Every structure is written in structure tokens, then in C-alpha cells.
Structure 1
Amino acid sequence: MASSTVNRWLRPEVYPLFAAVGTAVGICVFQLIRNITTNPDVRVLKENRTSGVLDNHAEGEKYAEHGLRKYVRNRAPQIMPSVNGFFSKPN
């Protein structure tokens, strides 16, 4: 029984599926850990839960303006600009 399951799922055709699902799970885990550790609205410890609503705008701004957002802010919204330019610009 176990041998047939291994033979069914561990084929070279299934590797891209494993990669896509693994990438999606990795992104979800990264976002969950980021929210638990750095989000000012999430309070895990009991001592922090009693504080209620915080008006700490600096901490919220720091969370919202992370490094990736700062990096892509002034860039063109294109994934591959050279390929887009090749196909869209006339010769």
C-alpha cells in the first residue's frame, strides 16, 4: 500500500506541483509569523491584551511601511520590463 502511494506521488511530473504548494505554504507561514511578531494590533501575551486600543501611530506606520514596500514604491509596475519593452515598442 505504501509503495503504491510513493510511486504515485513521487514522479517527476509532480515536482512543479510540490514546488508551487511549498512556495504558497512558505509565503503563508512568513506572513503569519510577521503578523504575530511585528503587527501592533496583535497581542499574544496576556499583559499586552489588557491595554485595549493603542494610539501608537508610529508603530503602525513602521509596520505598514516595510522594506519591500519602500523598495518597490518608485519602480515601474512591471515584472520583466525588458521583455515588455521588446514586444510593445515598434522597431
Structure 2
Amino acid sequence: MASRWIRPEVYPLFAAVGTVVGICGMQLVRNISTNPEVRVKKENRAAGVLDNFEEGEKYAQHAVRKFVRGRSPEVMPSINKFFTDPK
């Protein structure tokens, strides 16, 4: 029965779905643990609305955003330049 459903042609699909589930899980953990607007503990929820702009800026400007800041928004700039720039 397992050989009927698990074939070598399906492995890339498993890899893609597994990657997406991993990224979603990572984002969920990041939001629950570091987002300043999410309060899981009851003591933190009792504090009400906090104006903590430094913590919000730290959350919004994370390492990935700092890494791609100033770069062109292209996936493969050399290939795009090769096909779009006339010689």
C-alpha cells in the first residue's frame, strides 16, 4: 500500500510542502515569541497598550530585512541584465 502512494516522483512535492510548512512554523514562533503586540502571559496582557517604539522597530527591522536593504529586488540580476540590455 505504501508503494502505491510514496513514489519517487512525489519526493519534490514532499520537499516543497515540507519547506513551506517549516517557514510557516518559523514565522508563527517568531510572532508569538518576539512580536511586541502579542502578549501570551496574563501579566503582560494586563499592562494594556504600551508605547514601546524601540521594541517595535527592532521587530520590524530584523536581520533578513537588514541584509536585503539596498539590494536590487531581482532574483537573478545578471541574467535579467543579459536579456534586457542591448549590446
TM-score (norm 1): 0.90
Deviations 1:13-57, CA, capped at 9 Å, x for gaps: 101110110011001000000001100011111111101111001
For the pair 1:36 / 2:32, whether they are aligned, the reply is yes
Unaligned runs of 5+ in 2: none
Q: Which moved more, 1:80-89 or 1:58-67?
A: 80-89
Q: State, as a whole percentage, how many aligned pairs show the same letter.
A: 68
Q: CA RMSD in A?
A: 0.9
Q: Which moved more, 1:6-15 or 1:19-28?
A: 6-15
For the pair 1:25 / 2:21, whether they are aligned, the reply is yes
Question: 1:77 is matched with which residue?
Answer: 73
Aligned length: 87
Question: 2:83 is matched with which residue?
Answer: 87
Unaligned runs of 5+ in 1: none
Q: Which runs of 4+ in 1 moved over 3 A?
A: none
Name the aligned partner's letter for residue 55 of structure 2: E
